[in-house]
Amino acid sequence: MATALMLVTSGAVAQDPSTTIEAQFDRAFRDILADPANLDKTFRYAELAIQAQDFEAAISALERMLLFNPDLPRVRLELGVLYFRLGSYAIARAYLTRAVEGPNVPDDVKARVAVYLEEIDKRLSPHRLSGSVYGGVRYQTNANSAPTQPGITLNVLGAPVTVNLDSRSTKKNDYNFFASGTLRHTYDPQLQSGDVFESELLVYVTRQNEQHQTELTLFEFTSGPRAQFWRDMVDDATIRPYVIGNYAMLEDADYFNAAGGGINFTKQFTSEISTELNFQGKQKNFQSTAARPTANQQDSFEQGVRFDLRYQFRPDIVLGAFASYVQDSADAGFNAKQERTIGASYAQTYEAPFGVTESRWTSSLTASLGTIGYHSPDPTIDPNNKRDEQEWRANLVTAIPVSEAWALIANLQRTVVDSNFKNFTYTNTAGSIGASYRF
């Protein structure tokens, strides 16, 4: 019976192929009515109640077993798990705590109880902290995003002419170290409605080996409530209005700051299909420096919308698609632009090649196409023609779990930008390897 008592979380109950769970459940109920002191029959009834998703009946049967024999730590463990699944965390804690009392508690029971008690503490607290850190090294074939060809267009005496860049401004390969971290705080007012208040801080830092002018430090903070909406008409849908703030440094000098807000909608249509829709707007203010004397010409109000679709095609395969539109209303018209992007993704979880790890790997491939149109010509390049671009991106990521919290991550990315001005036409291939930790 000890082995069978692990069934609350695994759900692996042997079934008679000649009958249904419901029929077995009914027959087991008649058996315990005829012989209520028989613990084996009582436990069989609890097993089938779990299979039938009738957790209340399973609880009743297991609690009756404790009346006949209180010294059953595994039964107390399974009762704690059942109450946990029903959201009755205080009762679950009482059963789990009792399950590890006494001198002869099996080690596996102690281990499972510790996991559930830790999770109960998190769920009963109105404040929850979680996050992740990720860092590694990246190599790029065009770290400075320089033009593919040295010949670029410049306005000379009112006419566009081709000039050649010096060697300092051409394509340079380089490697960098990068680190990112995300810290999330969730406040749950315990309203039994699922409504919470979420705040998130993102930090991203890169440090180059040679191309120091591209070193970036970025902070982003968002905060706002997440609640279910139209509860009486729509199931599994949430809305989250939020405020957002950004601060960025380039080469350790102030680059821009931004402030604004947005609204996020999510909807789970089925167990396989979910969607997310996000609207956002923010004012961006750039700082001019000796190295970037015209940076403030990029001051703008940026607004956009993005739609994501996720489809769980199989238990091990997830398909995705997304589309976005961003309008950047810069003070200088030649910096103002509209950007449209569409993309798709494919992710699969699979056994480790050659069995090198016990954990399963996950690889995802994302491809996107963006088109960018600028509002007016740049007088320093061509006073008569506006800039237009297409940007292709492909990204392959493989995650290799090392433990429940740690994973190795390998990333390969290809970017191709095609512009009507060779000044902005470039390609870049980047590869990185790093490690992530979730808490």
- 335: domain CATH number is 2.40.160.40
CATH of the domain at 105: 1.25.40.10
Strand segments (E) across 351-387: 361-374
Tens digits of per-residue pLDDT, 346-357? Answer: 999 999 999 899
When the pLDDT of each residue in the chain is averaged and rounded to a whole number, the result is 90
> Which tokens belong to 20?
């249904």
Give the span between the Cα atoms of 33 and 28, in whole angstroms: 9
Give the span between the Cα atoms of 335 and 328, in whole angstroms: 8
According to the model, what pLDDT value does residue 1 have?
42
Tens digits of per-residue pLDDT, 91-144? Answer: 999 999 999 987 778 888 899 999 999 889 888 888 989 999 999 999 999 999
According to the model, what pLDDT value does residue 74 have?
86
CA neighbours closer than 13 Å in the CB half-sphere of residue 174: 21
Examine the fold and report which residue of 101, 124, 147 is the final residue of a domain before the chain moves on.
124
Question: How many residues appear in the chain?
Answer: 439
Tell me: do 165 and 85 sit in the same domain.
Answer: no
Structural domain including 400 reads 127-438
CA neighbours closer than 13 Å in the CB half-sphere of residue 361: 16
Are 203 and 180 a contacting pair, CB within 8 Å? yes
Of the listed ranges 2-16, 170-184, 316-330, 379-393, the one predicted with least confidence: 2-16
Tell me: do 96 and 156 sit in the same domain.
Answer: no
According to the model, what pLDDT value does residue 316 have?
95
3-state DSSP assignment of residue 134:
strand
Tens digits of per-residue pLDDT, 235-282? Answer: 789 999 999 999 999 999 999 999 999 999 999 999 899 999 999 999
Tell me: do 156 and 98 sit in the same domain.
Answer: no
How many domains would you assign to the chain? 2
Tell me: do 196 and 291 sit in the same domain.
Answer: yes
CA neighbours closer than 13 Å in the CB half-sphere of residue 202: 11
Tell me: do 152 and 245 sit in the same domain.
Answer: yes
Tell me: do 283 and 344 sit in the same domain.
Answer: yes
Residues 6+ apart with CB under 8 A from 402: 357, 359, 408, 435
**Mean predicted confidence (pLDDT) in 306-330:** 97
